[in-house]
Structure 1
Amino acid sequence: MSVSPDPSAVSASGAAPGEGAFDRSVPGAPTDGGGTASGENDPAAPRPQLPLSTQLTRFVLTGGLSAVVDYGLLVAGMAFGLGYSAAKAISWVFGTITAYAINSRWTFNSTGRKGAFAAVVVLYLTTFAVQVGTFTLIYPLFEAWWGSGVASFAGFVIAQGLATTVNFIVQRTFIFR
């Protein structure tokens, strides 16, 4: 036995309650398409933060992909005759855009808050300075102890690790909260 909706319950759009994009049974109450005014599918509504372990895993994977983009464009730029500074500047920009595009949505579940990209660029410039500054401070000490090969690798890992940690904490706590 089929039950048809009560004709008096049909909304202004001609759809039964819960069937249209807007349910006029409560005047002015937009719905999520399921008949509720919860706003669950509102793209501008804040999304819940993912667990820390999920965010860390996604952040590392995104960082790896962004590094491939950065390094690949660096090598390609130099192969096409760009100087190493120009090639690095271009590759860094595209690596940063890649990291932002993926991290903002996938890692931090962001809805695209205004100003987030600018904040990330400022953060990346800051962590770039942290990375270069840290390397510059520790490299001479490490070189004296272990030689240039070990010093450059150890200095890179420590400086990159510090910058990445700051980057993750600031993005998770302030930019994509």
Structure 2
Amino acid sequence: MHAEPHLPLPAELPLVDEPGGTDVDLKTQIVRFTLTGGLSAIVDFGLYLFLLQVVGLPVSVAKAISFVAGTTTAYLINRRWTFKAEPSRARFLAVIALYACTFGIQVGINQVMYSTIAEHWWRVPLAFLIAQGTATVLNFVVQRVVIFKIH
């Protein structure tokens, strides 16, 4: 019998040895999502500053690359720790679609804020914070209500 080829599952971080499921209560999910988001924001913002100020990339290119790094970090941790969900190709594809949407939203908001805020030392972090905050709220709601209900 010939087995059909299949896509590999996404990379996983073995952060917990507990069985998967979405039975984590809302308060725990919010705390874990916030902690994960903080770590992911550090990855995102650190890389953004490096690419913007050291490498000299344009704002949108630097933000696009850092967004991918930050959201990949967030997904890998949130899947196992925040939502305790089993691996799922359907869920992974839904997360890619969500991140594609929030990518456009976050990079766009960052560019608009960067362009409209007067040049001060706090322009870059404020533009980043507004864009990141918007994407974080959107990501949590969609992941909790839709994505981590997918099997």
TM-score scaled by structure 1? 0.55
Q: How many residues are treated as equivalent by the alignment?
A: 127
Q: How does 1:84-95 map to 2 (within 5 A)?
A: 84=58, 85-95=60-70
- Give how far 1:81 is off: 2.4
CA change 1:154–1:78 in 2 (3 A) is closer
C-alpha distance in structure 2 between counterparts of 1:70 and 1:169, whole Å = 20
Identical positions, percent: 45
Among 92, 102, 108, which residue is 2:83 paired with?
A: 108
The reply to whether residue 76 of structure 1 matches residue 50 of structure 2 is yes
RMSD: 3.6
For structure 1, the residue ranges without an aligned partner over 5 or more in a row are: 1-40
Deviation at 1:156, TM superposition (A): 6.7
Q: Distance in 2 between matches of 1:176 and 1:74?
A: 29
Residue 164 of structure 1 pairs with residue 136 of structure 2: yes
Counterpart check, 1:119 vs 2:94: yes
**Aligned partner letter, 1:65:** L
Structure 2 CA distance for partners of 1:73 and 1:155, relative to 1, 3 Å: closer
Aligned partner letter, 1:171: Q
Aligned 8 A contact 1:105 1:111 in 2: yes
Shift of 1:76: 2.8
Shift of 1:159: 5.5
C-alpha displacement at 1:106, in angstroms? 0.4
Contact kept? 2:21, 2:83, Cα under 8 Å: no
- 1:52 equivalent to 2:44? Answer no
CA distance in structure 2 between the partners assigned to 1:102 and 1:86 by the alignment? 25
Question: What is the identity, as a one-letter code, of the residue corresponding to 1:59?
Answer: F
Secondary structure of 2:89's aligned partner? coil
C-alpha separation between the residues in 2 aligned to 1:129 and 1:68?
A: 20
Aligned to 1:173: 145
The offset of 1:162, in angstroms, is 4.0
Classify the secondary structure of the residue corresponding to 1:115: helix
Matched residue type, 2:90: G
- Tell me the SS of whatever aligns to 1:112: coil
Residue deviations 1:7-62 (CA, integer Å, cap 9, x gap): xxxxxxxxxxxxxxxxxxxxxxxxxxxxxxxxxx9x6xx52420000000111111
* Higher gyration radius (CA): 1
Secondary structure of the equivalent of 1:176? helix
TM-score (norm 2): 0.63
Which is richer in helix?
Answer: 2
